[in-house]
Amino acid sequence: MLLGPTSLKNVSRIAADLTSRTLCHSSPLPHRSRKLVRTFFQQAKQKSKPEQHKVRLHQKLRDTVLVLEAKQGPVGKTVAGIGQGIVTAGLVFGSGSLLYYTLFDQDDGEVSTLVSSSGGGLYAPEFISDRINTAYMYMFNSLGISTLGAAASFRFFRNPIFLNAISAQPLLAIGLAMASQFAVTMLVRSLPYREGFGAKQAGSIAQALLVGLSAAPLYLLGAQSIIRAGFVTAGLVGGLTGVSTILPHDAFAKWEIPLRIGMYTVLLSFMALWFLPRRHFSYTWLYRVAMHGGLVVFPAYYLFNTKAMVRSATYSPHFDPINSSMSLYTDVLNIYGRLAFLLPPHYLISGDAGKMGCTTRPEEFKK
């Protein structure tokens, strides 16, 4: 039996209404159902637009990070409290260690410096200071080059072809970025150091530039969150360097094995997040270990590497300032990356989310 135009129109209206009721699990009015279906098809037609790639990537980042930061339910609040407790315990332990070394472990009762705390050595203090200053110069140069590379990657990140490739294979993109950084770092560390500009210096520049170019996803956090994390990282690293100046040269000599265990735990937790669904019960716990645990491990590693650099500059006849600076540089980047994700609120401080079409507010996550 053939249906007339009026009957077809009625059937279409009923189908649209039933579809909307099924999707919304409620009893909306007919005009609301038609509006919902119309909006659905309009969004489907716009999937090829470049802006939609930004929206989808921003939503993926939002679902991964911001849902956890909203502390949904009692489990989320418990895990958040444990993560904050880990960081607080690390701060208390570090402050107590600093007080102990300052009051009870100084032989001459005077506050020492990086050079004078080295306990003598084979070289003059001026020569040791020059070695240490050279290592810090390479570290600051690497940080500056990475900043320039990140600024360039933020502009390149707007390319729709690049966005489509990352959104289609995110794990492959992350794996290639980490593998390339690891390979270049190992290659640079294996090269012998010579003064002037040579292969090792060029490799150090390439490694810092590659790290900066890999920082494109930070663009989704917003400019103000990135800048805020930079200032907090600078203050934290400056404080850690100040702590290193008053501690003896062997203060952290026995910390290498515990720090390596902590670093591997943080790294494995971070890698496990790639393969677990976001709603898995262990996802929140692993996220807190990777983020808050990293904020305990990597500042301690910065102190350890600083003292290791001072010992090498004091006693080693073949001091390599680039290798020493790369260790400090890696610690600073790990601290910065975690602060950029943990400092709230990314989604409200920056207007980038609104420009992308993402209008989610914290109240939506707390429901």
Q: Is the pLDDT of residue 205 over 70?
A: yes
287: left (phi over 0), alpha (psi -120 to 50) or beta: alpha
Average pLDDT, the chain: 67
Highest mean pLDDT range out of 41-55, 131-145, 240-254? 131-145
Predicted confidence band of residue 88 (pLDDT cuts 50, 70, 90): low
Q: Is the pLDDT of residue 348 over 70?
A: no
Q: Which one is predicted more confidently, 260 or 363?
A: 260
Predicted confidence band of residue 111 (pLDDT cuts 50, 70, 90): very low
Distance CA 9, CA 345 (A): 48
pLDDT of residue 266: 85
Contact 285, 270 (CB under 8 A): no
Side chain identity at residue 315, one-letter code: Y
Distance CA 286, CA 63 (A): 15
Distance CA 56, CA 62 (A): 10
Distance CA 18, CA 109 (A): 82
Q: What angle do CA 104, 108, 111 make, to 5 degrees?
A: 75
Using alpha carbons, list the distances in angstroms from residue 68 to 221, 273, 295, 335, 341: 15, 13, 17, 19, 11
CB within 8 Å of 43: residues ≥ 6 apart: none
* Rounded percentage of the chain residues whose pLDDT exceeds 90: 0
Please state the domain extents for the chain.
Answer: 82-350
Q: pLDDT for 290-326, tens place per residue?
A: 888 888 888 888 888 888 888 888 887 888 888 888 8
Instruction: List the single range of 138-142, 148-152, 254-258, 361-365 with lowest mean pLDDT.
Output: 361-365
